Structure 1
Amino acid sequence: MPPSRDRGAAPTAPVWDPAQYLRHADHRARPLADLLARVPDPEPPGGAPPRVADLGCGPGNATELIAARWPTARVTGLDNSPQMLERAGREHAGPTPGGGSLDFAHADAATWAPADGEPYDVIVSNATLQWVPGHEKRLGDWIAGLTPGGTLAFQVPGNFGAPSHTLMRDLAESPAWRGRLAGVLRHAGAVLEPEGYLEHLVALGCEADVWETTYLHLLPGEDPVLDWVKGTGLRPVLAALDDDPEAAERFTAEYRELLRAAYPRAPHGTVLPFRRIFAVATRTAEPRRTC
């Protein structure tokens, strides 16, 4: 769901590659585990099984972690990528060992909100909202779709100023590439700083816990940072050049050389520092849908 050059404009969706995304599944799953550890256990009325949404579920491996966190829950993974949903449904849908259930459905985070009369006890979003322009304006709709005492929990990358992103943007906006790629990539404004999320969530009548963590991922192999971004941040470029494989390969080769200089390979592997921003918001008052 990558945004176009205007943060308020409608995004142009790339084709997602579940296999490429899952090549670094262990590293990508750690922030979700850290997020879930801070989410209080839901207490649905009458002891009913919790109802949980995973907004931007991707290939479903992370949704399975959510189901393991609340074994009796009815968990629904939501995504707008047919490729991701096909993989998720094929490999993860069905009853869970704890007596709960796991299913998947199409939804776009830019417009989705819980249906009236069908609130969720927990809504989780893992590394998705950075693809949704103006997502801070959607927080009120999601809080309003929680049961009283329910929780919205999300994490987003906070590394848009890292070389992996700045070098990609600089190359895309260089004279050789700007004609085809100008405005394709996300900028620092794709996410708020932690203070911004805290302000929005408190204004919506929530008890909010917001923090940041920088992970030092030690990646093996040759050009592992390039391999990482091929599954995420580079997707808009690959989509924009999809009709010209030679150009896509040329851009990738130029970007590879820049990454090799910025993230030198050592005998023990390549270190990728990755900052992430986390928020856990519990509904404690009747929320406003906008702030």
Structure 2
Amino acid sequence: MAFTDLGDVRLFHTDDGAGDTTLLLVHGLGSDSHEWVHHIPSLAERYRVIAVDVRGHGYSSAPETGNTPRRMAEDLALLCLTLGVESCVAIGHSMGGQIVSHLAVEHPSLVRALVTVDPGYGFTGAVADSFPALIERMREDPVAAALRNDQWTSTRATPEWLREWHRRRILATPPHVLLQAFEAMFGGPDALGVRPNSDGYLSRRTCPVLTFWFDPAQAAWEADLFKDPHSRAVTWEGSGHRLHEERPGEFLLVVTYWLRSLA
């Protein structure tokens, strides 16, 4: 079945491939699991691959409350239990990086390794200082603010079709979901989007972590938080925020090589 009811939410997901290792693919804010279409066929040749629309996104239902990364992580833990997944490698982009990190910290026996792709945590300086104003704009008009904020995610090398694809995904996301998720990510005393909140929490991830950043400073910062010696921080300067979609072939090579190294 492509849908699973988990009480207050109904999640859409696909389940492809087979193997001893299960990969759980988690998209970012204002997106859905279609952002993994370039990766699923190749990954499914070797692994079981579960790609999910988190609550409030894509084909999943959008409850009036609870649309936060922490709650989304709990949804995924329950989904894994329902699907008989006892252990997985969780792969998350942007907000998905927060979600899978919550999953790894709160359910360490479930997550054997993490891959985060330009994750939405650990910001500081001018970027972190801008979040209160961004949250206020989100409260006034979540969709318009999300579209404006999305402009920073691209570079001149980003294909126009990719920009348009994500613009349409944002337009399709319920406004209250955009607001609740963004505010939970970057506002409040325990939001992982800003330092120092992120440091102590992410240090609790004891599993191997592979992280991708386009900003070398962010990559170096996160590398200092790793606990497992197999962890790696990869920097692709010049890439956009959605580097896994801009360079899917190279992304797959790096991820699959790293996963084989863990074995």
Bigger RCO (CA 8 Å, 6+ sep): 1
Question: Higher strand proportion, which one?
Answer: 1
Q: TM-score, normalised by structure 1?
A: 0.28
Q: TM-score, normalised by structure 2?
A: 0.30
